[in-house]
Structures are given as C-alpha cells and as structure tokens.
Amino acid sequence: MTAGPAGDERPLVVVLGASGFIGSPLTRALAARPVRLRLVARRETPVPDGARAETEVRTADLSAPGAVAEAVRGADAVFHLVAATEAGWRVTEDDTAAERLNVGLVHDLAAALAADRRPGAPGPVVVFPSTTTHLGADPGARVDPAGVKSPYVRQKLLAEHVLARASAEGVLRGVSLGLPTVFGHGPDTTAPDRGVVAAMTRRALAGEPLTVWGDGSVRRDLVHVDDVVAALLAAHDHADRLAGTHWEIGTGTGVTLLSLFTGIAEAVAARTGEPAVPVVTVAPPDHADPADAEDVVVDPEPFHRVTGWRARVGLAEALGRTAGALAP
C-alpha cells in the first residue's frame, strides 16, 4: 500500500475511463469506500455527492506517450475501463487507433506498473473488463488470438494475455472479466447510445419498427450495468484468488434477440401508453461481424464460487428502467 499525503495509508484506487458508461457508476460505488480515488478520463468526471473517498480528478488523453504511467503512479489498484467505443465493438482490421486503445494502453499499463514496482510489495490489482472470448473453457484457459475472427475480440484477448504475463511475473495482479451484452442506463442519457438495448429503446420511443437480423434466434446473455459494477468490485476484493485468470460474468441465461426486441417494444409501450412498435426480421447487412451470428451464454458459476457474486437485476425490470430513463 502506498502512503498518501501526510502519511495517509488508505489505498490509492485509479479508474481509467472514469466518465464512461461503466466508469460513472463504478466511480459512485468506489467513492463510498474509505480509499484515495483518482479518476482519469478524457472528459472531466464529476465527484459523486457525499463521497467518502478522498477524490482527485484528472483529464488526460491516455493514448499520449507517458500518460498512462502518470495516471497510475503510486496506485494500489487500477480499474482499466478504456476502450475504443466510438463504433461500439465494430473494429476493422486496419483500425490502428482502436488497436492502440484496446491493446496498446494495456502494454503501457503493465510497463508503468513494472517501473513503479515497490520492492517486497505485492503488485497492484488490475481489473480489466474484457469480452466473452473463453466460452466453454475452464478458468485460466488460453485462447489463441490467431483463431479469433472478430478484430475487437482478438484485441481484447491480446490485452488479456498482456495482463496474464504481467501477473505471472509478479508485476501486477490482473483479473480479466468476460462480459457479454452489458446494458442499462448511465447518468448521462444524452450520450451516444451504448449497445443494442439502448439503440432499440430509442427507436421504439421514436415509434420506429425494431429490426432483428436473420430469424432472431441468436441468443444473448444480458447483464445490467449495475451488476457489472458489483462484479468489478468483487473482482477487486477477491483479486488474490482470481489473479492471472479470465472469468466469465453474466446471468447464465440466453435470451433470443427476437424475444429481447419484443420485450423492449413492450417496455416502451408500457411507458408511453402507445401500442408496441412492430419487430421485424431482416437479412444481416454486409458489415455484420462474424460474432453477430453466434450464441453468447456464459457460465458465471466459477466466479460465483470464489466471490459470491450473482446478477441481481431482472431483464424485464431493467428494460422498464431503461425505457423510463431514455424517454423524453
């Protein structure tokens, strides 16, 4: 643990990407803890009301040389939430800017923590939200990035490998969490849509039909952002048992996209009092990612056995809350 100003022994927790979709609610949760909190993002992050933590806010372009090292200096724990999100998770093979954010910053983080390492002290905890790259594999299994078709998934997997190597070398204690479809609503509902649930909710609120690719039979495991925050905190709190490994986070239940979109239409109708918009099936577009046609249903039991975490927010309740938050 790093002593703070005037010998303050509270741990220093750094959130990279603190103003984002997951970073904002995570920041509110961490601010209630007795820690020193450093919030780093491209845009300024508001300090939560009633914060118990001593909170420092920094604005930075973390892709700039040396920016990550400066942001995490002295950290006891880092939540690394920075990712290329301008186009969601649709990354092309030649998108070097996305690769820099998704992979390069993790290299920078590992190098910075190695340089800042304190003799005899355990490596800082690093919690890294990743994606569902290890479906069906045991915790700790390694997946070859070369065999992954989706550029975004491949980049996340490469980043996981960087953290796993650094964990094995004792530089840090890295915990990678495989997240399926994350949804819900953050404090800034004017921000660009994050994910299919928000996008389709906005369409339904505008009275537009909801289009599902193919026959809508593809299944997805959906986890609410509030449950993701709880999982991130659990990963931090149990890092000694989780470090160096990939763990899947989700509900363990698959929902077809057709039934999901129907549920969104019904949730919006209940909110507006108007008839539910139609849900129609269409052919997948040319830009569809190979992962679009794959079922994603995770097994959260290994993570539950270590941490006690389970998803708590039900889908119907969450769709209603999302409709309420996004309604004019």
> Are residues 282 and 218 in contact, defined by beta-carbon separation less than 8 angstroms?
no
The three-point CA angle 192-195-196 to 5° equals 120
CB atoms under 10 Å from CB of 232, counted, come to: 27
Q: Residue 16 has what pLDDT?
A: 97
Identify the weakest region by mean pLDDT among 8-17, 18-27, 76-85, 295-304: 76-85
Assess whether pLDDT exceeds 50 at residue 60.
yes
The CA distance from 146 to 156, in Å, is 12
- What DSSP state is assigned to residue 153? H
Q: Residue 1 has what pLDDT?
A: 55
Q: Is the pLDDT higher at 225 or at 186?
A: 225
* Structure token digits, residue 117: 């390492």
Task: Express each pLDDT in 214-236 by its tens digit.
Answer: 999 999 999 999 999 999 999 99
Ramachandran category for residue 273: left, alpha or beta (phi over 0 → left; psi -120 to 50 → alpha): left
Which of 36, 33, 30, 32 is closest to 8 using CA atoms?
36
The CA distance from 95 to 151, in Å, is 9
Task: Express each pLDDT in 114-169 by its tens digit.
Answer: 999 888 888 999 999 998 765 544 444 555 555 555 677 788 888 999 999 999 99
Q: Residue 124 has what pLDDT?
A: 97
The CA distance from 226 to 22, in Å, is 9
**pTM listed for this prediction:** 0.89
The CA distance from 328 to 308, in Å, is 38
> Are residues 221 and 250 in contact, defined by beta-carbon separation less than 8 angstroms?
yes
